Chains A and B, each alone.
Chain A
Amino acid sequence: MEFDKEVDARNLNCPLPILRCKKGLSDMAADKTLKIMATDPGSVKDFDAFCKQTGHQLLQMDEADSVFTFYIKKQISD
């Protein structure tokens, strides 16, 4: 999957992956895609909840070797 920016939140625990994600999105233009990797198992539900509440679009989530990779498309109003 194509992306415009990558953030590594591996080995970080709640709420750091979400905070890193928010920070990563902050200087991106609308419709750009952020790739973020996390190892916190709680991040699967948390990223879903984050996107639902902020309006950013969770395009895809992959899991490989206990690493969760999220692709999030930034929405316009943030």
Chain B
Amino acid sequence: MAKKLALIASKGALDWAYPPFILASTAAALDYDVQIFFTFYGLTLLRKDISDLKVSPIANPAMPMPLPMPNLAQMIPGMESMATMMMKQKMAKKGIATIEELRSACLESGVKLIACQMTVDLFDFKPDDFIDGIEYGGAATFFEFAGESDVNMFI
């Protein structure tokens, strides 16, 4: 019987979007059954257009920067977009997959993507906002699969 991986994706920043999709697509390649439960800000990763995902240096002192930058300077309008652009360029240069690419790989390999119904209601999302092929569920839905999974992670 195939092993099972259950993930909770709770964050919607560009950098935090990577772990769930990398782990899910890789586990699927290793013949795991995989489900990802998208809740709170993680839910935004299921939108059709995710080209607006951003990475922020604010409150992230561990982010390697080309030059030291005080928090106050990072708050200047446009800094977040600039950091995001630089991160995307660096990723492309290093042959790192885009989130869209990894998400497609997940869908193609049968990873089940579940939208947290409560978060959908909370942020007034419409089914039309999301990509095709997702399911909706609550905490009990997650545990139905997570309870019999070999690996569980909260991201």
Residues of A within 8 A of B (CB): 11-16, 18-19, 21-22, 39-40, 50, 53-54, 78
Given A54-B31, A78-B31, is A19 in contact with B96 using a C-beta cutoff of 8 Å? no
Whether A15 pairs with B26 at a CB distance below 8 angstroms is: yes
Contacts of B101 in A (CB 8 A): 16
B26: contacting residue among A12, A13, A18, CB under 8 A? A18
Whether B29 pairs with A18 at a CB distance below 8 angstroms is: yes
A19: contacting residue among B29, B31, B94, B95, CB under 8 A? B29
Interface string of B104-126 (1 = CB under 8 A from A): 01000100000000000000000
Whether B95 pairs with A12 at a CB distance below 8 angstroms is: yes
Report the minimum CB–CB distance from B144 to chain A (whole Å): 25
Report the minimum CB–CB distance from B79 to chain A (whole Å): 26
A13: contacting residue among B29, B30, B94, CB under 8 A? B94
Q: CA of A15 to CA of B24 in the docked complex: distance in angstroms?
A: 10
B95: contacting residue among A16, A18, A53, CB under 8 A? A16
Whether A54 pairs with B97 at a CB distance below 8 angstroms is: no
Contacts of A22 in B (CB 8 A): 29, 109
Return the chain B residue nearest A12 by Cβ.
B95
Q: CA of A50 to CA of B95 in the docked complex: distance in angstroms?
A: 20
Contacts of B109 in A (CB 8 A): 22
Q: Is B25 an interface residue (CB 8 A)?
A: yes
Whether B22 pairs with A15 at a CB distance below 8 angstroms is: yes
Whether B30 pairs with A19 at a CB distance below 8 angstroms is: no
Contacts of B105 in A (CB 8 A): 19
Report the minimum CB–CB distance from B147 to chain A (whole Å): 23
